[in-house]
Chains A and B, each alone.
Chain A
């Protein structure tokens, strides 16, 4: 089977063509073309097998400011809104420095949510 994707790894936005087969309900990518670099292949495989996204958002501080955060690595795409709901309830103490862990292992994904701004 064939799938057309737009690579979102970098601003170049390569138009990828992915060929894959489904064996016993498992997706097996056989060929990726149109990619400008190796990361395009990794993206295409992940996108067809188990798509992931990095979430960038804010959390509130106890002083009622907001501070920017991100998932330190991409998380499963279907968990995006669930992650947002967890983060909506988080309150952190100021000061916060870039890189501080805000939530450890969010939703059991093995990924930490870390601060991306100082406050």
Chain B
């Protein structure tokens, strides 16, 4: 097997991997390899042809492929220090930072890396994980697969559509299918609130008069060869279908937008400590995992709402990897960051380096008249009121370095009025 040595290996060539590579290069590193499974760089962005990307990162509104192209150009402009292997699948990763990968040209090969950034992104929760009774006819797709068919292949999955799940991809696809001439009959959401951005409910559903049925789920798939319809039911507060509320909706297509799962098989197999809530690795403020020198960023770490934040996080991970390679990252001090109240998780889960650090979090429920507080070793250091907090919108608090000096534990807490 071919053996190689590289200072920094980045697994994944989507927005996170590209941003990590660019920032590592700009910090002076010239021995960077990106391993990408697809035939080209860009990741999921290339199929996200809608706009709204880049407002934070580039100060202008871009579509997904435009945002990806900006980063692809940046990577290509740094070709003297960043080598890109496309159509290359990574099969394993060890704590000693040995990456095993394969592609058609080289076959299997091994890279001994000095540092690694995990940037594998996430995938969609499939039908098999949802337990919907019924046959397995054609016409049932995850929203992202349908997005790929329509936007990259130019194929329409169907004409009469029901969408299960109101995550952003589901909402975006409701509009996309409508614009392409399909009839989207409704979007069903199991929870009493949408997991998507409010603006997407407005511009993707309300603009086209598509009903959003909250506290509803699909309880039966009809049709044997091709989907003929679905039965939807209202669910109670424990998310159990309520008898007598069944409604039959004829349709030839069911799109599933039921959550994204960080793609961490490699991470788990390497024995890296995971956060069961995010589905990603546990990291410190530098985005370093429990294994020194292995970093994680982007949707493989926790699912982001905005690619701009993915780029920001991955730039940090790339920079941290360079610091690690230069031997600057060895600070044993570990301050735990804990989630309290309605805060479901925080990223990072601990902070190390003294200095300002941003902590991202999501809440577990829609809260009104909410308050976010930060306490350090029991002492309140931050308090901010929010009119509304929602699980679909990632929030952030900036911890000041002076709060953290000699601290042992930081607690981020959200309280507020729950929905009725």
Contact = CB atoms under 8 A, between A and B. Distances in A.
Contact of B154 (A13, A58, A98): A58
A68 B305 contact: no
Contacts of B181: 84
B366 to A, nearest CB: 13
B65 interface: yes
Interface string B115-155: 00000000000000000000000000000000000111110
Interface in A84-119: 84, 98, 116-118
Contacts of A9: 199
Interface string B206-243: 01000000000000000000000000000000000000
Interface in A67-84: 68, 70, 77, 80-81, 84
B65 A11 contact: no
A41 to B, nearest CB: 16
A84 B203 contact: no
Contacts, number: 83
A58 B153 CA distance: 10
A57 B387 CA distance: 35
A7 interface: yes
A8 B203 contact: yes
B359 interface: no
B207 A53 contact: yes
Contacts of B55: 10-11
B354 interface: no
Contact-residue size bin, chain A (C-beta under 8 Å from the other chain): 20 to 34
Given A8-B203, A54-B51, A80-B179, A116 B151 contact: no
Contacts of A13: 197-199, 202, 393
B63 A68 contact: yes
Interface in A1-30: 5-13, 15
B108 interface: no
Interface residues of B, number: 33
Contact of B50 (A5, A12, A56, A81): A56
Best-surrounded residue of A8, A9, A66 (most CB of chain B within 10 A): A8
Best-surrounded residue of A56, A77, A98, A118 (most CB of chain B within 10 A): A56
A116 B306 contact: no
Interface of B: 46, 49-52, 55, 61-63, 65-66, 69, 150-154, 176, 179-181, 197-199, 201-203, 207, 305-306, 387-388, 393
29 contacts: A6-B199, A6-B202, A7-B199, A8-B203, A10-B55, A10-B199, A11-B55, A11-B199, A13-B197, A13-B198, A15-B198, A15-B387, A56-B51, A57-B180, A58-B151, A65-B154, A66-B151, A66-B153, A68-B49, A68-B63, A70-B49, A80-B179, A80-B207, A81-B179, A98-B65, A98-B69, A116-B65, A117-B46, A117-B66
